[in-house]
Amino acid sequence: MEPIMCPFCGGTNLFQEDDYSLELDYEYWTIHHWECLDCAQSFDKIEILPAPNSFETINNNESTIH
Ligand SMILES: [Zn+2]
C-alpha cells in the first residue's frame, strides 16, 4: 500500500516511517505513517483487516451453508 501524494501540499517527496500494528478483538489494524519532506506535515493511513479469528468464523459459516 503506497501513498499517492501528500494530502496537504500534493507533494510526492514522502518519507515512510515504520508501520505498526494493532490487534483488536475482530480486526487487525496496520497503521502506515508518512512524513512529507516538502511541507513537513505527517499523515497516516490505516489498513483494517479482519482478525484471524474472524476468518475462521466465516469459513465455518460457509461450510455450514453448503
Ligand atoms: Zn506536503
Instruction: Please write the tens of the pLDDT for every residue from 27-38.
Output: 999 999 999 999
Distance 32 CA to ligand 1 centre (A): 16
**The pTM of the whole model exceeds 0.85:** no
Protein residues near ligand 1, an ion, with CB under 5 A = 6, 8-9, 11, 36, 38-39
What cell was used for 40? Answer: 513537513
- In which residue are the cell numbers 476468518 written? 55
Q: Under 8 Å CB-to-CB from 38, ≥6 apart: which residues?
A: 6, 9, 11, 13
Strand locations in 1-66 (E)? 14-16, 20-23, 27-36, 42-50
What residue segments make up the domains of the chain, in order of their start?
Answer: 14-65
In b/e form, how buried is each residue of 42-52, taking b as 16+ CB within 10 angstroms?
Answer: eeeeeeeeeee
Distance 48 CA to ligand 1 centre (A): 25
Confidence class for position 10, pLDDT limits 50, 70, 90: very high
